[in-house]
Amino acid sequence: MDLAEKIQAALSSNKAIIGFRRSLKFIKSDKPQSIIIANNLPDSMRKSIEDAARLHKIKVEIFDGDSVSLGVACGKPFPISVVVVKA
């Protein structure tokens, strides 16, 4: 299953969190199944996500496209930088 299909499955089952701030808050308070980031995420934001993911030993997956492409993969008309799939 590629990342786009994984995102669509999570969105259809209401197990996805979209956006940097909400995702970071969820990662710090709970253990996600996976974390997907856009390949053009700024370094400071990427470091924050990776540091939080390291606490739970979750691998951060990089989407093969920018935030606009990630938004399209999520079916949204706006750019999305981070998607977290809940366990």
Residue at token pair 């989407």: 63
> Could you tell me the pTM of the whole model?
0.90
pLDDT tens digits for 33-62?
A: 999 999 999 999 999 999 999 988 998 999
Q: Does the pLDDT of residue 1 top 70, yes or no?
A: no
Res. 87: pLDDT tops 90 = no
Mean pLDDT over residues 75-84, rounded?
A: 94
Task: Map the chain to HEC letters.
Answer: CCHHHHHHHHHHCCCEEECHHHHHHHHHHCCEEEEEEECCCCHHHHHHHHHHHHHHCCCEEEECCCHHHHHHHCCCCCCCCEEEEEC
Complete domains list, the chain, with CATH: 3-86 (3.30.1330.30)
Residue 4's pLDDT band (cuts 50, 70, 90): confident
